[in-house]
Structure 1
């Protein structure tokens, strides 16, 4: 793509009201993410990682500061506009999988594409599920799959709409070490094949160290600014 950075964050602030006070969650956050790179946002629980991811993806709006995603300033869009941008250019992977329990593995991957009018949705879903090793589990429901298998379905779903950027929030947080390693390998392999920008939120430094660059947060502030510009 023509732009050098797929994500630019400038002077970002976010706070929430707590009783009569306001609690600062993020304070003066600045960083950029080059297109097609892998980037980790790391820090202890309560450091503001997930809040930052939500702001970067347009799931929430900051008190002040700007986020430019895929060449578009999110502040220039209303809620519907941000949702449209996400549906066209963004993929998500969550710690809790977030599969629809009444849909099979195949349907969980294909239905979002079908809702966008993609006539090849079923074939795309079958191909991706085969790539994550679930070609024989297409008609199984989430309750019939292990946690690792559910996250592999979520991986297939995330890449199905060919996103320009994929946000992964603690993608191995609910998995044991061996299963997490398998999911991590698949995530990075699919990402490399697709040429997607991968932005991971994690407290797992082994996972973070697999990324090209890192941003470290503590108490809502960037702990080591230089790690975000290497």
Structure 2
């Protein structure tokens, strides 16, 4: 199968005062197209930093990241932004909806940035899929946390991305709401055939994926293939 993400000997260090702090050290793994892949580990293990490097939101100090056939290290900021716009979807812990836009407008934005002429129709169809067809004209402040994350799900899948990065997608939700959001995420993902990469501290969520990468202290301590029922 095609490797959609390949990470080799990745290293990231931050300088704090007079000290250097190595957040990631010698990280190597690959993900095949269509896989579901969880990155787990305790707080401070480097999970979110790794996601940012894989998505081209930040640059590593050493090593390479190849995303959708492109070596991120060889691309400038504009080129990486274009790649994300065309190929990548994101879901964040804190939703990151635009507060001055309605649910429909939030979902439409990535489509409009791609020049789609049917952005509103596609956005409304996705909102209906996540159970918010009747809330399309509501602003984020008028929606619960779970509803905001469902809008974020619709937005993430609106452009039919090749790969979707989700950073603690249930981190701000109660258990029951989180379970509903995760079911929607996996249902939409299965329908779209998207590659899914989830950063989480929730081992139950991690086990829903085909592969689990475990980090501790900035290093890989396990890379496991799971049996998903």
Determine if contact 1:39/1:198 at 8 Å carries over to the other structure.
yes
TM-score (norm 2): 0.97
Matched, 1:227 2:201: no
Q: For structure 1, list consecutive stretches of 5 or more residues without a partner in the other structure.
A: none
1:92 and 2:67 aligned: no
Aligned match of 1:167? 165
CA deviations 1:171-223 (Å, max 9, x no partner) are 00000000000000000000000000000000000110000001000000001
- Alignment check: 8 A CA contact 1:42 1:49 kept: yes
Matches within 5 A, 1:136-151: 136-151=134-149
In structure 2, the residue matched to 1:132 is 130
C-alpha separation in 2, matches of 1:124 and 1:195: 17
**CA positional deviation for 1:115:** 2.7
- Which structure 2 segments of 5+ residues have no match? none
Q: Does the CA contact (< 8 Å) of 2:38 and 2:198 recur in 1?
A: yes
1:101 aligned to 2:99? yes
Q: Normalised by the size of structure 1, how large is the TM-score?
A: 0.97
The corresponding residue for 2:185 is: 187
Q: Determine the C-alpha separation between the residues in 1 that align with 2:47 and 2:84.
A: 19
1:167 partner SS: strand
User: Secondary structure of the residue that 1:136 maps to in structure 2?
Assistant: helix
Map of 2:13 onto structure 1:
15
Partner of 1:204: 202
**Coordinate RMSD, CA, aligned:** 1.2
Q: Name the residue aligned to 2:118.
A: 120
8 Å CA contact 2:86–2:114 kept in 1: the answer is no
When residues 8 and 229 of structure 1 are mapped into structure 2, their CA distance, relative to the original with a 3 A threshold, is farther
Query: Cα offset for 1:21?
Result: 1.4
Give 3-state SS (helix, strand or coil) of 1:173's partner.
coil
Deviations 1:58-105 (A, max 9, x none): 000000000000011101101111000000000000000000011000
SS of alignment partner, residue 8 of structure 1: strand
Q: Give every structure 1 segment of 4 or more consecutive aligned residues whose post-TM-superposition deviation is greater than 4 Å.
A: none
Secondary structure at 1:223 match in 2? strand
